[in-house]
Amino acid sequence: MAIIKTLVFTLLLPGVFLVLVPYLLLSWFGDGFTMDIGRFRYFGVLPVLLGVLTYIQCAWSFVSLGKGTPAPVEPPKELVVQGLYKHVRNPMYLGVLFLLMGEAIFFASILIFLYTALMFFCFHIFVVVYEEPNLRARFGDLYTKYRDSVPRWIPRWRKTR
């Protein structure tokens, strides 16, 4: 059941912010905020793929290891610290940002690039104001130790303490 809920959540929330909003931005304002980058645009496919794979791996970790979903209404019951979460505390958000950056490159859109920066700012505020205090309240010292040993945004690829 958690897999189905994760799929529905993915179609609703990330689907809106990763597909619908960029589509609307390009439809309404695209011509005025694009650059001519020629074939370089195809390099945007790489961050899109990286973002999709990151999101899938994180969502699967929430379902299989955390016994929950990425949706805040049914969060994981266990603290997920394996997989990409060993290297950075917010890999799912980073995956979303990679995907948006890839879209900005592929569509040569300054507007989608600015939208990506706005999303990062919103993610950061959400993580600091809501998510981290909530995780600290739910998981206590376990989360505090994890928070102290794993960076928030910039991955550390060596073993954590």
For residue 56, the model assigns a pLDDT of: 93
DSSP codes joined into one string, the chain: -HHHHHHHHHHHHHHIIIIIHHHHHHHHHGGGGB---GGGGGGGHHHHHHHHHHHHHHHHHHHHTSSS-SSTTS--SS---SGGGGT-S-HHHHHHHHHHHHHHHHTTBHHHHHHHHHHHHHHHHHIIIIIHHHHHHHHTHHHHHHHHHS-SSS---SPP-
- Structure tokens, 99: 């995907």
Question: Cβ distance 155 to 88 under 8 Å?
Answer: yes
For residue 135, the model assigns a pLDDT of: 95
Question: Cβ distance 102 to 45 under 8 Å?
Answer: yes
For residue 94, the model assigns a pLDDT of: 97
For residue 66, the model assigns a pLDDT of: 84
For residue 159, the model assigns a pLDDT of: 60
For residue 5, the model assigns a pLDDT of: 81
For residue 1, the model assigns a pLDDT of: 76
Give me the average pLDDT of each 10-residue run along the chain (161 residues). Answer: 80 86 86 78 96 94 88 87 94 96 94 96 97 95 96 80 51
39-40-45 Cα angle (round to 5): 100
For residue 32, the model assigns a pLDDT of: 66
For residue 71, the model assigns a pLDDT of: 82
Report how far residue 50's alpha carbon sits from residue 57's, in angstroms, rounded to the nearest whole number. 11
Report how far residue 114's alpha carbon sits from residue 135's, in angstroms, rounded to the nearest whole number. 30
For the chain, which domains are there?
2-149 (1.20.120.1630)
